[in-house]
Structure 1
Amino acid sequence: MNKINYENLNYDIKIKIYHDQKDFGPGVAKIMELIRETGTLSEAYRAMEMSSSKAWKIIKKAEKDLGIKLIDTVTGGAGGGKSTLTKEGEDFLDRYISFSNELENIAKELFNKHFSCDIINKR
């Protein structure tokens, strides 16, 4: 059996926050961030190369599981529709981002502790 090459080894963590169904994660968070930036759901899902139906589906599933409304939308009109995050949505997204960033920093430290070539070569 070959010895594993630890150089250039990577990891990935996908964080999901949920009650019963794992419906709020990086995808919903990204849509919400893009809505916050662009002011429209349509620009957000286009930027993610996602269909409108899929975007609505994952948002609605997350809202149902969390028990809060994440996004408010106004359709049509002279200037077109717009979307905004609800107060609860803003708060939840900010908490998710903070938690994810902190967890990523801790994970990076642990990854380096356990998979760093310097540490591996000393064993």
Structure 2
Amino acid sequence: MSNNSKHILKYHIKTRVFYDNPNFGPGVSRIMELVKETGRLSEAYKIMGLSSSKGWKIIKKAEEDLGFPLFVSVVGGKGGGKSELSPEGADLLDRYQAFVYELNTEAEKLFNKHFEE
């Protein structure tokens, strides 16, 4: 293969975990990360540029396939309500992130093995 400084070959892997329908992947995990940071689903949707209805549909599809809620709502006082990851959701996010990290580490090695110029 020729070494062309204008064109560098890259790759992309999009990882999803699911039972029947591939609805849990990078988008849902990002929403979950943002809820951990902000405490609000609405803020997570806003940061990601999603409408509340679109974000809600994405979450509900993932929850339906997984069979458990990803979030729990906490009724608020002075500052209003907030959202948190459910225990099952927090566990899934931790395992998903570890899996994706390891998968990407191995993928980088394989990519370099097969495409290094």
Same-fold status (TM-score > 0.5): yes
Alignment size in residue pairs: 115
Identity of aligned pairs, percent?
57
Aligned equivalent of 1:71: 71
What is the correspondence of 1:102-113 to structure 2 with a 5 Å cutoff?
A: 102-113=102-113
Aligned equivalent of 1:56: 56
> Residue by residue, what CA displacement relative to the aligned partner does 1:78-117 show, whole Å, maximum 9, x if unpaired?
4122100000000000000000000000000000000110
Ranges in structure 1 where 5+ consecutive residues have no aligned partner: 118-123
Ranges in structure 2 where 5+ consecutive residues have no aligned partner: none
Bigger radius of gyration: 1
Q: Structure 2 counterpart of 1:9, which letter? A: L
CA distance in 1, matches of 2:60, 2:73: 13
TM (normalized to structure 1)?
Answer: 0.87
What is the correspondence of 1:1-123 to structure 2 with a 5 Å cutoff?
A: 8-74=8-74, 78-117=78-117
CA distance in 2, matches of 1:110, 1:36: 33
> Residue by residue, what CA displacement relative to the aligned partner does 1:13-57 show, whole Å, maximum 9, x if unpaired?
000100000100000000000000110001111110111011111
Runs of 4+ in 1 over 2 A off after TM superposition: 3-7, 74-78
1:81 aligned counterpart, secondary structure: strand
Higher strand share: 2
TM (normalized to structure 2)?
Answer: 0.91
Shift, 1:75, TM fit: 5.5
